[in-house]
Amino acid sequence: MLILSRKVGEAIIIADHIKIRVLENKGGLVKLGVEAPDQVIVHREEIYLRILEENKKAAMDSPDDLSMLSDVFPLQKKE
Amino acid sequence: MNVLKQDTDQTEAEKNITVQTSRFGEIIVDKERIISLLTPFLGFPESTRFILKAHSPKSPFMWLQSLDNPQLAFVVLPAALTGLDFRPEIPRQILKELLITADNDKDILLILTIPKNNPQEMTANLLGPIVLNSRKKLAVQVVLDPQKYDPCLRLFPAK
């Protein structure tokens, strides 16, 4: 892992078009400003992992047949 | 005349593609119904083309079947049919990329997690819903605010 030290106000640049600047460091909370093209998606790690985990679970668990869902649950499409 | 006819036949053939799926076997897909993802689902980077398959005409549950990974299929439910008051703010940039200009172009689908032997414990992912432009067949999973939205909300709580 590349480790860089930065002071508040300083930044790092990744691959010419992504800039991450340290904006504030207060009481253990570091605020970062990320400048990146629109197509670059930025997530907080724990939220990214939460969604990833839920996606995997949804894809793994899905039942073979959905018929029983319609029988059991009172959801009906409006005609 | 002959030439013209040949052209028509060719167009017909090109209208559909045949795709292998592990759940439904070989399926024939009308190319116009293929949904393209702006970015793949987290965890499934290889899949960008999907098809929505209704379970039955009456059922609100649908399959979102990948055309790139035969094994990948999610069960989804339109948020509007859940009875939940779920109208999240979608970032303007995402609406723009999905070419959504009016509210009726926008559909929100919830991915369901359904325990195999216990379907009544199914949960819906409100933190990462799918926003779909059904007219243009463009979709993306958005990540909302975790303070507000539950990634596994039970749809049918035990009574």
What is the domain-level CATH number for residue B126? Answer: 2.30.290.10
* A71 inside 8 A of chain B by CB: no
Sheet of A11-14, strand order: A11-14, A18-26, A29-35
Report helix, strand or coil for B90. coil
B32 within domain boundaries: yes
- The per-residue pLDDT for A79 is 43
Distances from the Cα of B16 to the Cα of B11, B13, B33, B55, B93, angstroms:
9, 6, 10, 21, 32
Domain that holds residue B6: 2-154
Closest chain A CA to residue B60: A77
- Domain count within chain B: 1
**Contact check, Cβ <8 Å, B116/A63:** yes
Residue A66: the pLDDT is: 76
Q: Among partner residues B59, B82, B122, which is closest to A70 by beta-carbon distance?
A: B59
* Domain assignment present for B146: yes
Among A72-76, B58-62, B104-108, B133-137, whose mean pLDDT is lowest? A72-76
Question: What ipTM does the predicted assembly reach?
Answer: 0.85
Q: Chain A: give the shortest CA distance to residue B73, in Å.
A: 6
| DSSP one-letter string for A4-60 | ----TT-EEEETTTEEEEEEEEETTEEEEEEE--TTS----HHHHHHHHHHHHHHHH
| B53 membership: H or E segment, kind and range | strand B49-54
For residue B42, the distance in angstroms to the closest alpha carbon of chain A comes to 5
Please check whether residue B41 is in contact with residue B141, taking contact to mean a CB–CB distance below 8 angstroms.
yes
* Cross-chain Cβ contact A59/B74 below 8 Å: yes
Contacts with A, B 35-64, CB within 8 Å: 39, 41-44, 55-61, 63
Longest Cα–Cα distance in chain B:
69
The amino acid at B28: I
Give the predicted TM-score (pTM) of the model: 0.85
Residue B159 counted as domain residue? no
- Domain annotation covers residue B97: yes
Q: Is residue B102 included in any domain, yes or no?
A: yes
More confident residue, A69 or A71: A69
Beta bridge partners of A33: A21
> Considering the domain boundaries, does residue B68 fall inside one?
yes
**Tens of pLDDT along A11-60?**
999 999 999 999 999 999 999 999 999 878 889 999 999 999 999 999 98
Select the residue from B143, B149, B156, B159 to test the A interface by mutation, using most A Cβ atoms within 10 A. Answer: B143
